[in-house]
Amino acid sequence: MAMTDLEPVTSLEVRAERIMETFERTALTIGAELIEAKRDHPGCFMAWVADSLPFGIDQAERLMAVTRAFATADPEMMAALPKASTTLFQLSRLPADRLRQAIETGEVNTETTYREAARLRSVADSPEWEVIEMPEVQPSHASEPRIAADLLANELLRFPRSQLSDELAVRIRRWLQ
């Protein structure tokens, strides 16, 4: 398509929409190409991405994940999804039945943001809050510093509840009270 083939547009919103539609189509195509390249050339795939492509291995992995998740999705589902590949990546990590439910209830729609998708994913990753028997943790007499709030927040985001040690879970609950 030559530059002269494009219709004149004065609105940046229309341009953004057109770019996102093109990127959505090409993101799935790029992801499919990457999947095939990784399958056909497993020993040199990472070096090839680093040396030959305008993005790194992290972006390549995200594009492949989006393609695996949505390449076979029906057109109705694709029409309900947001266009941004970063948001699609977050949604690709949801269980399929949870994603369908989120689309049906309107939690996921074309306007869903990256943050909203990440929140949906984190809720899906964590078990329902339940009352559990907490082990008794004896405080140490050593003068150990409290966990800094930013470190604690990072730990909460990094690990599902099942991977937190009992002691850290107790500290988090006490800190949150």
- Amino acid present at 54: P
What are the distances in angstroms from CA 43 to CA 31, 32, 33, 37, 84?
18, 18, 16, 10, 31
pLDDT, the chain, mean: 78
At 83-118, the pLDDT tens digits run 888 888 899 888 888 888 999 999 999 899 989 998
pLDDT (0 to 100) of residue 83:
82
Cβ atoms of 62 and 86 within 8 Å: the answer is yes
pLDDT (0 to 100) of residue 129:
43
pLDDT (0 to 100) of residue 131:
46
Using CA atoms, how far apart are residues 110 and 17, in angstroms rounded to an integer? 11
Cβ atoms of 66 and 89 within 8 Å: the answer is yes
Using CA atoms, how far apart are residues 173 and 177, in angstroms rounded to an integer? 6
Higher-confidence residue: 144 or 32?
32
Closest Cα partner for 24 from 60, 57, 94, 71? 71
Residue range 5-21: mean pLDDT, rounded? 73
Residue range 3-26: mean pLDDT, rounded? 72
At 124-154, the pLDDT tens digits run 665 554 445 556 656 555 555 555 666 666 6
| Interior/surface letters 24-53, b for 16+ CB within 10 angstroms, e for the rest | beebbebbeebbebbeeeeeebeebbeeee
Q: What angle do CA 54, 61, 105 make, to 5 degrees?
A: 120
Using CA atoms, how far apart are residues 82 and 116, in angstroms rounded to an integer? 11
Q: What letter would DSSP give residue 43?
A: T
At 60-78, the pLDDT tens digits run 999 999 999 888 888 888 8
pLDDT (0 to 100) of residue 108:
93
What are the distances in angstroms from CA 132 to CA 109, 144, 160, 162, 164?
35, 27, 16, 12, 14
Using CA atoms, how far apart are residues 107 and 113, in angstroms rounded to an integer? 11
pLDDT (0 to 100) of residue 153:
66
Confidence of residue 34 (pLDDT cuts 50, 70, 90): very high
Question: Which pTM value belongs to this model?
Answer: 0.57
Confidence of residue 40 (pLDDT cuts 50, 70, 90): very high
Mean pLDDT check: name the lowest of 7-11, 99-103, 119-123, 170-174: 7-11
Rg of the chain over all Cα atoms, to the nearest angstrom: 22
Q: What percent of the chain has pLDDT over 70?
A: 68
Q: At what angle do helices 96-105 and 114-125 cross, to 10 degrees?
A: 130
